[in-house]
Amino acid sequence: MEGPLLDFFRAARSAGLRISPAESIDATRAAQVVGLGDRARLKDTLSLVLAKTVEEKRAFAEVFDLFFRRGDFSPAPPVEEAARQPAPEAQASGQGEGGGGGGGQIARMLLSGDQAELAAAVEEAAQEAGLSNIALFTQVNLFTRRILERMGLQALEREIAANPEAERTGRLRQGRDRLRDQVRDFVEQNLALFARGETEAFRERMLQQTRLSAIDRRDHERMRVLVRAMARRLATQYGRNRKRDRRGVLDVRRTLRRNMGWEGIPFHTVWKQERIEKPKLVVLCDVSGSVAAMAQFLLLFLYSLNEALSGLRSFAFSGNLVEVSDILERHPIEAAIPEVMARAGFGSSNYGMALADFEREHMRLLDSHTTVIILGDGRGNRTDPRVDILTRMADRSKQLVWLNPEVRTLWGTGDSDMLRYAPHCRVTAVCNTLQHLERVIGALLRDGG
């Protein structure tokens, strides 16, 4: 009984469930306790042991049904056909033995139309061929051929070739074609079962490391899911625990208070705590052509994070600066981002003008608790960079972080003013993949911005 369960665990893993060896042992024990007879009960049981969130339960139910439906291999029509031709069967199998070789057995099965036996043979051949290792859709043909070979297809072919005229050969040919289709379906089902996770995981890994500006439009949806998941992870990590003990610094007042009941003898010591503040962020995004893709994901990231942040104001600019917090808060993010782009995006960037706009209208947002994040390549098309304003912003705020999608070696080349801005920023970082983004924002949350 371990065999099928092990296969099932593999299928479940590839459906995205994380099943540790300990859990698979538990699941096996649980299955032994309730027995394998009742499928609904088995499903409840395994779901209790293996799936640990609501989403996982859903995925589990799906893969369970898919996996155990696989057993119902025989489709209806061939059975009908077999019932229609009972008479020639006896005679055919008699001849089949004369036909000889491995082909004999498969021919007999095909002619008798015994689907259960055929299914069992396919299962067995599949196991020998290692079908549960299938990982890519390109392997479907390979595995189909391997399974058929193991079932003795060659001998069958020889038999068909030997006397092409006989009535029996015609039926064999039909049977062979049908079998080929069935095996192919079977392999495809297995691919859906075992390989799904591999492919998905592979693509997700790729996407995390791809430059954001180079990501295909069709992958944007998947990317959004990834960004949300990442933001969620950071938010649960940093959203709650906002205090940190400073070991070694005694909080005398609270220690005395706590120990009043024992005449002030300090049984319980209370240490001074440090509050980690939720970061207050002001974000300025360059949304001109080259940086736009990056800006989209940064905004998406920050808005998925809102529970770990105490205040977030965002601005977008290419030439003039526009406040976009409102749009992003009121609309769902899918609708909001195109709107932001429509308002401010795709012009040629002018950092000086944007900074001047900011100083004129929004300078009062900055205080000693605010972190300013500027996202941009620092290429102002040879306009006045207005470094003086940036200096004043850095002075007023807690810190200034500059994220630049360009690699460091390109900073300062051509019309890039990055090297002039950099001295005034506490952090400058290259940030052009999802991984970079996670790292930078994670560090920000950890230190309380």
Partner 1 sequence: MSIAWHRLLSSIEATEAGLQTAGYIASRPISTALYLAHHLRKPILVEGPAGVGKTELAKAAASWLGLPLIRMQCYEGLDESKALYEWKYGKQLLYTQILKDRLGSVLGEEPGLDAAMRRLHGVSDLFFSEEFLEPRPLLRALREPGGAVLLIDEVDKADQEFEAFLLELLSDYQVSIPEIGTVRADVPPVVLLTSNSMRDLGDALKRRCLHLHIGLPDARLEARIIASRVPDAAEDLRRQLVAFVQQLRMLDLKKLPSVSETIDWARVLVLLHAPQLDHVMVRETLNVLLKFESDIEAVTPQIADLLLKAKREAVPIR
Report the interface residues with partner 1, using CB under 8 A. Answer: 18, 20, 22-23, 26, 29-30, 33-34, 40-41, 44-45, 47-49, 51-54, 57, 236, 239-241, 261-263, 265, 267
To the nearest whole angstrom, how small is the minimum distance from the Cβ of residue 30 to partner 1?
A: 6
d(CA 398, CA 248): 27
Q: Which amino acid is at 136?
A: L
To the nearest whole angstrom, how small is the minimum distance from the Cβ of residue 48 to partner 1?
A: 4
CB 122 within 8 A of CB 182: yes
Which lies closer to partner 1 via its Cβ, residue 116 or residue 225? 225
Angle at 181 between CA 175 and CA 184, to 5 degrees: 135
To the nearest whole angstrom, how small is the minimum distance from the Cβ of residue 50 to partner 1?
A: 8
With both helix axes pointing from N to C terminus, report the angle between 167-194 and 87-99 in degrees, rounded to the nearest 10: 90
Which lies closer to partner 1 via its Cβ, residue 56 or residue 159? 56
Q: Which amino acid is at 424?
A: H
Determine how many CB atoms are found less than 10 A away from the CB of residue 352.
19
Token digits of residue 407: 């690699």
To the nearest whole angstrom, how small is the minimum distance from the Cβ of residue 109 to partner 1?
A: 40
Which lies closer to partner 1 via its Cβ, residue 22 or residue 76? 22
Which lies closer to partner 1 via its Cβ, residue 47 or residue 290? 47
CB-based contacts of 69, cutoff 8 Å, min separation 6: none
Q: Which amino acid is at 25?
A: I
Which lies closer to partner 1 via its Cβ, residue 18 or residue 205? 18
The DSSP letter of residue 309 is -
Token digits of residue 264: 């002030």
To the nearest whole angstrom, how small is the minimum distance from the Cβ of residue 46 to partner 1?
A: 10
Which lies closer to partner 1 via its Cβ, residue 137 or residue 262? 262
To the nearest whole angstrom, how small is the minimum distance from the Cβ of residue 373 to partner 1?
A: 26
Please, how many CA atoms are within 13 Å of residue 194, restricted to the half-sphere of its CB? Answer: 21
End-to-end C-alpha distance for the chain, whole angstroms: 55
To the nearest whole angstrom, how small is the minimum distance from the Cβ of residue 33 to partner 1?
A: 5
Which lies closer to partner 1 via its Cβ, residue 44 or residue 80? 44
d(CA 441, CA 302): 9
Bridge-based pairing of strands 243-250 and 370-375 is unpaired
